[in-house]
Amino acid sequence: MDGLKERIHKAIHNQPQPTVTILSSLLAVEDEIGYIPKEAVEEVASFTDTTANDVWAVASFYPNFRFQPPCEHQVEICWGPSCHLVGAMSLIKSVLDTVGLEGEGDTQDRMLSVRYNTCLGACAQAPVISIDHHLMGRLTPEDASAAVSRALSQGGTGDQATEDA
Ligand code: FES
C-alpha cells in the first residue's frame, strides 16, 4: 500500500464515532490529507458497502470538499454579517486583485487558494481573514493585501505565515 492509500485507509478505519457514514468517512479523509482523491472514493465505497457513485453523490453535494490537493497557502475571507457591515467586500476585492483571481478559487500556479467563509468565529475583530489558519482581524483592504503578499513571498508550507488577530 503506498503512502497516500495508507493514510486514506487509516483515516477511514480509525474514525472514533460509533456511527460511520459516507459523509463522516469523507470528512475523515479531508481532515487527514486536505482533499478527496479518487482513491478515497473507492475506499469509502468499499468501507461503507456502497458504490463509488453513491460516494461521489455525497461528496459533490457539499461545496466545501476539494478534489485536488490544497494550494500552498489558503486564504479564507469572512463575508458573514459582522464582517460584511465593516468592509468585507472591500477586503475581498483587495485580496482578489492582489492574487489575480476573479472570485473564490485557486491561482494557476497553485500557490494560493481563496475561499469565502460565513463566519470565522471572531466577529468582534471584524473584518476578519484567515491565512493558513491564522486569524487576522480589524484589517483594512491594504492590510489584507499586504498580508497575502507576505504569505506568498514566504513560500514554504503555508504554516508560518501571519500574526494572530
Ligand atoms: S461574521 Fe466574520 S468572523 Fe463572524
Tell me the β-bridge partners of 116.
77
pLDDT at 6: 95
Residues 84 and 133 in one domain: yes
CATH number at residue 82: 3.40.30.10
Residues 79 and 57 in one domain: no
Residues 132 and 81 in one domain: yes
Q: How far is CA 66 from CA 60, 100, 111, 137, in A?
A: 9, 21, 15, 26
C-alpha cell at position 159: 504554516
pLDDT at 39: 94
In a domain, 56, yes or no: yes
Identify the residue whose C-alpha is closest to ligand 1 atom 1: 80
List ligand 1's pocket residues with C-beta within 6 A.
78, 80-83, 119-123, 126, 128
pLDDT at 2: 82
Residues 77 and 150 in one domain: yes
In a domain, 18, yes or no: yes
In a domain, 57, yes or no: yes
In a domain, 30, yes or no: yes
pLDDT at 158: 45
Residues 56 and 77 in one domain: no
pLDDT at 45: 97
Q: In a mutational test of the pocket of ligand 1, which residue from 76, 77, 78, 129 has the highest number of ligand atoms less than 8 Å from its CB? A: 78
**Which has the closest alpha carbon to 36: 63, 66, 7?**
66
3-class SS string, the chain: CCHHHHHHHHHHHCCCCCCCCHHHHHHHHHHHHCCCCHHHHHHHHHHCCCCHHHHHHHHHHCCCCCCCCCCCEEEEEECCHHHHHCCHHHHHHHHHHHHCCCCCEECCCCCEEEEEECCCCCHHHCCCEEECCEEECCCCHHHHHHHHHHHHHHCCCCCCCCCCC
Q: In a mutational test of the pocket of ligand 1, which residue from 92, 123, 129, 135 has the highest number of ligand atoms less than 8 Å from its CB? A: 123
**Boundary (domain end) residue, out of 11, 41, 61:** 61
Residues 102 and 147 in one domain: yes
**Boundary (domain end) residue, out of 17, 38, 61:** 61
**Boundary (domain end) residue, out of 13, 38, 61:** 61
Residues 91 and 144 in one domain: yes
Domains held by the chain: number: 2
Tell me the β-bridge partners of 129.
77, 136
Angle between the N-to-C axes of helices 22-33 and 52-61, in degrees from 0 to 180, rounded to the nearest 10: 70
pLDDT at 156: 57
Residues 146 and 79 in one domain: yes
- Which residues does the chain have with pLDDT short of 50? 158-165
Q: What is the pTM of this model?
A: 0.71
Residues 49 and 98 in one domain: no
pLDDT at 163: 43
* Structural domain range at position 127: 73-154
Q: Are 132 and 91 contacting, i.e. CB atoms less than 8 angstroms apart?
A: no
